[in-house]
């Protein structure tokens, strides 16, 4: 019944402890446990429908698990929202708020955005190349810029855990690569803990310290692969022998264990 | 010609087209009179109807003001009630299931039929007319507000929850602005119907003269010029109400027509930060990252952020 919390796990930033989720008789997550260290970047890959988004909904508190717990810094936050930053493939920018007003959305929704919040947002946007678009509405921005604003909004929540659910999935490959390199630089700047869901094995390896491979539904962790590539990372990593070896390993894990995955 | 800014040219183009449309109506009207050999007492020309307005303006003026007053107040009351009802009904499914059938029934009742009892209830002053106008106006507003609130992006609502949003703040920042476009659709429909409501109100319950009552007496005395004069004025009130709503919508929903926010107090911030990115990068960003709980600058990569795409 009780989760198997080891000494090591008790020190984790995020601990998903023996979580199961059942929807109307379908098991989406099956006794899944995952420990993420402070300032660690963990990519989660798995076949479609393996419950990756369900896992994020549980960690963010949107979905209460059928059994199991979620601990943040050792504190039980199961079913509680407001503790982590969450970003989806859909940028979900609010159309009637400008770039700055979108970035301060978290503050606006909780305590009211102050002048200081706006200044921070403007500084953040300026720092990451959106200085000329502070007062633009989202519809006037390109897809890449919109995702960048969405990530800044997530950063501006000042939570030290970020859940990114295929944030670059809808972008063209050139823009996606730019965004991946940008996220690497943001991550290397900040001490944040990131959980990153993706279908893209290259993306998973390029960004993460560890790659967790999920099984088909019901989702379980099949393998947890450390990515010992040195940081800071850049484009050259993608063509290194080490990278190729890791990619072969992840693909083998995904493919061997999920032969029935739809094309 | 090239010195004229494009938005002025667009505006002129639209006015020209609108005038053409009016010209078309006047043309067809005249054509019908000539083609069927209609006598002026059956159908006066638009020119004589307009000249009747000009010659009788001293009479028409107070009538028009009276009808505008009924229309405007009734519209305000109806729109307000409609909006509040929409919000309340969206807040509770039970309230919605309880109230919706009553709303539909209220609109199925022929308004002319209940106008007379309303006069008995509320007398012959302004009140029964306001009730009738509001009765007509509130329905499209409720339906559209309800629709708007029901179609707020669920993912966005979930995102607000993850952010720990307070209910009232989420309503003001996300739900309310999302209803603005559907709200204005309802208001535009309501604004054009409101005039009809005022006329029905005047027919059924009037001690005071408005364009509607004038229409009735002019009709009874075969004063067709007077009838069409009043009709043109009523139409003008309806069109003006609609245009007023279009203008209000443009002002209230700037993100639909503009790519940047209007310059306001925040443009100061923009001037301070936007025009001197180097300073803000050095000072503002450092301060910001310093204020992140448990965050610190690591490494030197931050000196060269990638260029914007």
| Domain-terminating residue out of B255, B280, B295 | B255
In this complex, do A145 and B308 lie within 8 Å of one another by their Cβ atoms?
Answer: yes
Among A105, A112, A119, the residue with its CB nearest the CB of B269 is: A119
Q: Cα dist. A25→A31, A130, A244 in Å?
A: 15, 47, 40
pLDDT band of A10, cuts 50, 70, 90: low
B230: Cβ contacts below 8 Å, ≥ 6 apart:
B60, B63, B211, B214, B215, B218
Q: Which residue of chain A comes nearest to B180, CA vs CA? A: A96
**Cross-chain Cβ contact A119/B273 below 8 Å:** yes
The model's pLDDT over B14-29, given as tens digits with 9 standing for 90+, comes to: 899 999 999 999 999 9
CA A258, CA A262: separation in Å to the nearest integer?
9
Residues B63 and B158 in one domain: yes
Cis peptide before A104 (omega within 30 of 0): no
Does residue B305 register a pLDDT over 60?
no
Select the residue from A54, A106, A118, A126 to test the B interface by mutation, using most B Cβ atoms within 10 A: A126
Do B27 and B121 lie in a common domain? no
Per-residue confidence at B283, pLDDT binned at 50, 70, 90?
Answer: very low
- Are B161 and B32 members of one domain? no
Query: Domain for residue B218, yes or no?
Result: yes
CA distance to B54, B65, B201, B208, per residue, from B61 (Å): 10, 6, 19, 14
Nearest-neighbour CA in chain A from B72: distance (Å): 29
Sign of the Cα pseudo-torsion (B35, B40, B44, B50, in order): positive
Residue B288 lies in a domain: no
C-beta separation of A211 from A189 below 8 A = no
Are both B98 and B151 inside the same structural domain? yes
Please tell me the predicted confidence (pLDDT) of residue B270.
47
Where is pLDDT greater, at B262 or B154?
B154
Q: Are residues B97 and B245 in the same domain?
A: yes
Nearest to B296 among A96, A127, A191 (CB): A191
Q: Do B100 and B175 belong together in one domain?
A: yes
Question: Does B26 fall in a domain?
Answer: yes
Give percent of chain B above pLDDT 70: 83
Task: Examine residue B115 and state whether it is found in any structural domain, yes or no.
Answer: yes
Q: What's B241's domain CATH number?
A: 1.10.3720.10
Q: What count of CB pairs under 8 Å joins A to B?
A: 175
Mean pLDDT of A78-93: 91
For the cut 50, the answer to whether the pLDDT of residue B301 exceeds it is: no
A137 contacts in chain B (CB < 8 Å)? 254-255, 258-261
Average pLDDT over residues A216-222: 86
Sort out which chain B residues have CB atoms less than 8 A from A193's CB and list them: none
Measured CA to CA, the distance from residue B218 to residue A95 in angstroms comes to 52
Cβ neighbours of A188 in B, within 8 Å: 298-299, 301
Question: Chain A: nearest CA to B244, how far in angstroms?
Answer: 22
- Which one-letter DSSP state was computed for residue B263? P
A139 in reach of chain B (CB within 8 A) = yes
pLDDT at A61 exceeding the cut of 70: yes
Interface of A with B in 212-231 (CB under 8 A): none
A203 is written with which tokens?
Answer: 């993306």
Please write down the HEC assignment for all residues of A120-138. HHHHHHHHCCCHHHCCECH
Statement: residue A211 has pLDDT above 60:
yes
pLDDT above 70 as % of chain A: 94
Q: What is the nearest CA distance from B134 to chain A, expressed in angstroms?
A: 30
In this prediction, residues B18-46 reach a mean pLDDT of: 92
Query: What is the C-alpha to C-alpha distance for residues B44 and B40, in angstroms, rounded to an integer?
Result: 4
Same domain for B127 and B157, yes or no, is yes
What pLDDT, on the 0 to 100 scale, is given for residue B264? 53
Compare all CA atoms of chain A with the CA of B291 and give the residue at the minimum distance. Answer: A158
Summarize pLDDT for A156-209 with one digit per residue, the tens. Answer: 998 989 999 999 988 888 889 989 998 998 898 888 999 999 999 999 999 999
| Tokens found for residue B296 | 């610190």
Residue in B148, B151, B152, B163 to test binding to A, most A beta-carbons within 10 Å: B163
Q: State what percent of residues in chain A have pLDDT above 90.
A: 64
Q: Do A188 and B299 touch (CB under 8 A)?
A: yes
Range of the domain at B28: 1-37
Which residue of chain B has the CA closest to A157?
Answer: B163
- Are B2 and B91 within one domain? no
pLDDT in tens, B260-273: 886 555 544 544 44
Among chain A residues, the shortest Cα distance to B302 is held by A189
Instruction: Determine the pLDDT at residue B277.
Output: 35
Question: Do B91 and B238 reside in the same domain of the chain?
Answer: yes
Whether the upstream peptide bond of residue B124 has omega within 30° of 0, thus cis, is: no
- Check if A86 contacts B (Cβ < 8 Å): yes
- Same domain for B170 and B83: yes
- Given B225, B255, B285, the domain boundary residue is B255
Total of domains in chain B:
2
Domains of chain A: 1-82+209-263 (3.40.50.300)
Min Cα separation A117/chain B (Å): 9
Cβ of A144 under 8 Å from any chain B Cβ? Answer: yes
The H or E element that residue B21 is part of is helix B6-36
Per-residue pLDDT at A189: 86
User: Is residue B42 included in any domain, yes or no?
Assistant: no
Which residues on A lie below 8 Å from B257 (Cβ)?
none
Give A-chain residues touching B156 at CB under 8 angstroms: 92, 94
Kindly report the number of other CB atoms within 10 A of residue B14's CB atom. 10
Token pair listed for A31 = 């006794």
Burial class of residue B160 in the structure, from the number of CB atoms within 10 Å of its CB (0-12 exposed, 13-18 middle, 19+ buried)? buried
Please indicate, yes or no, whether residues B22 and B124 belong to a single structural domain of this protein. no
What chain A residue is nearest to B177 in terms of C-alpha separation? A96
Token pair belonging to A116: 């200081």
| Mean pLDDT for chain A overall | 89
For B164, the closest of A81, A188, A232 (CB atoms) is A81
List the single best residue of A106, A131, A193 to mutate versus B (max B Cβ within 10 A): A131
Query: pLDDT digits over A113-143, tens only?
Result: 999 999 999 998 998 888 899 999 999 999 8
- Can you tell me the distance from the alpha carbon of A138 to that of A146, in angstroms, rounded to the nearest whole number? 7
Q: Output the pLDDT for position B289.
A: 38
Question: What one-character-per-residue DSSP string does B268-290 give?
Answer: HHHHHHTS-HHHIIIIIHHHHHH
Whole-number pLDDT of residue A128? 82
User: Mutating which of B162, B176, B293, B298 best tests the A interface, going by the most A Cβ atoms within 10 A?
Assistant: B162
Backbone angles phi, psi at B43, to 5 degrees: -145, 110
**Contact criterion met (CB below 8 Å) for A69 and A78:** yes
- Per-residue model confidence as pLDDT tens digits over B220-243: 998 999 999 999 999 999 999 999
Q: Nearest by CB to B277, which of A124, A126, A232?
A: A126
For residue B106, is it within any domain? yes
Task: Tell whether B166 is covered by a domain.
Answer: yes
Q: How far apart are CA A211 and CA A208, in angstroms?
A: 7
Using a CB-CB distance cutoff of 8 angstroms, which residues of chain A are in contact with residue B307?
129
**DSSP letters of chain A?**
------HHHHT-SEEEEEEEEEETTEEEEEEEEEEE-TT-EEEEE--TTSSHHHHHHHHHTSS--SEEEEEETTEE-TT--SSSEEE-SS----TTS-HHHHHTHHHHHHT---HHHHHHHHHHHHHTT-GGGTTB-GGGS-HHHHHHHHHHHHHTT--SEEEEESTTTTS-HHHHHHHHHHHHHHHHHS--EEEEE-S-HHHHHHH-SEEEEEPSSSB-EEEEEE----SS--GGGGGSHHHHHHHHHHHHHHHHH-TT---
Domain assignment of residue B268, yes or no? no
B110 and B221 part of one domain: yes
């Amino acid at each position: 019944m009780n989760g198997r919390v080891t000494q090591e796990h008790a020190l984790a930033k995020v601990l998903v402890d023996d979580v199961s989720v059942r929807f109307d008789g379908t098991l989406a997550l099956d006794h899944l446990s995952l420990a993420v260290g402070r300032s660690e970047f963990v990519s989660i890959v798995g076949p479609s429908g393996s419950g990756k988004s369900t896992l994020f909904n549980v960690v963010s508190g949107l979905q209460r698990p059928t059994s199991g717990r979620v601990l943040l810094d050792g504190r039980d936050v199961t079913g509680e929202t407001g503790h982590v930053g969450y970003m989806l493939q859909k940028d979900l920018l609010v159309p009637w708020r400008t770039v700055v007003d979108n970035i301060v959305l978290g503050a606006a929704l909780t305590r009211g955005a102050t002048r200081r919040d706006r200044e921070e947002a403007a500084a953040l946007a300026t720092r990451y190349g959106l200085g000329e678009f502070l007062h633009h509405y989202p519809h006037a921005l390109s897809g890449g810029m919109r995702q960048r604003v969405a990530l800044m909004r997530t950063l501006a929540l000042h939570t030290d855990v970020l859940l990114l659910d295929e944030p670059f999935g809808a972008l063209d490959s050139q823009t996606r690569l730019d965004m991946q390199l940008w996220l690497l630089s943001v991550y290397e700047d900040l001490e944040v803990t990131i959980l990153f869901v993706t279908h893209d094995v290259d993306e998973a390896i390029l960004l993460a310290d560890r790659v967790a491979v999920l099984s088909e539904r019901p989702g379980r962790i099949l393998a947890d692969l450390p990515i010992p590539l040195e940081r800071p990372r850049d484009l050259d990593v993608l063509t290194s022998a080490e990278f190729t070896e890791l990619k072969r390993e992840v693909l083998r894990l995904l493919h061997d264990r999920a032969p029935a995955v739809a094309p | 010609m090239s010195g004229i800014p494009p938005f002025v040219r667009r505006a002129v183009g639209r006015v020209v087209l609108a005038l053409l449309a009016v010209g078309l109506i006047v043309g067809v009207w005249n054509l019908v009179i000539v083609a069927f050999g209609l006598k002026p007492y059956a159908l006066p020309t638009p020119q004589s109807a307009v000249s009747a307005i000009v010659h009788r303006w001293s009479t028409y003026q107070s009538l028009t003001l009276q009808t505008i007053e009924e229309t405007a107040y009734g519209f305000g009351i109806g729109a307000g009630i409609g909006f509040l009802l929409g919000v309340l009904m969206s807040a509770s499914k039970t309230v919605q299931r309880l109230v919706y059938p009553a709303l539909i029934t209220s609109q199925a009742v022929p308004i002319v039929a209940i106008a007379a009892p309303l006069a008995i209830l509320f007398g012959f002053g302004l009140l029964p007319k306001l009730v009738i106008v509001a009765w007509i106006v509130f329905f499209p507003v409720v339906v559209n507000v309800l629709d708007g609130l029901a179609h707020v992006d669920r993912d966005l609502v979930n995102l607000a929850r993850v952010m720990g949003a307070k209910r009232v703040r989420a309503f003001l920042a996300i739900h309310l602005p999302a209803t603005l476009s559907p709200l204005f659709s309802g208001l535009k429909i309501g604004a054009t119907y409101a005039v009809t409501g005022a006329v029905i109100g005047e027919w059924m319950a009037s001690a005071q003269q408005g364009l509607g009552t004038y229409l009735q007496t002019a009709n009874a005395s075969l004063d067709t010029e007077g009838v069409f004069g009043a009709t043109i004025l009523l139409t003008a009130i309806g069109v003006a109400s609609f245009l007023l709503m279009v203008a209000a919508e443009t002002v209230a929903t700037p993100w639909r027509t503009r790519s940047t926010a209007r310059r306001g107090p925040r443009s100061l911030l923009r001037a301070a930060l936007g025009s001197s990115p180097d300073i803000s990068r050095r000072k503002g960003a450092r301060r910001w990252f310093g204020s992140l709980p448990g965050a610190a600058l690591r490494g030197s990569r931050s000196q060269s952020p990638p260029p914007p795409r």
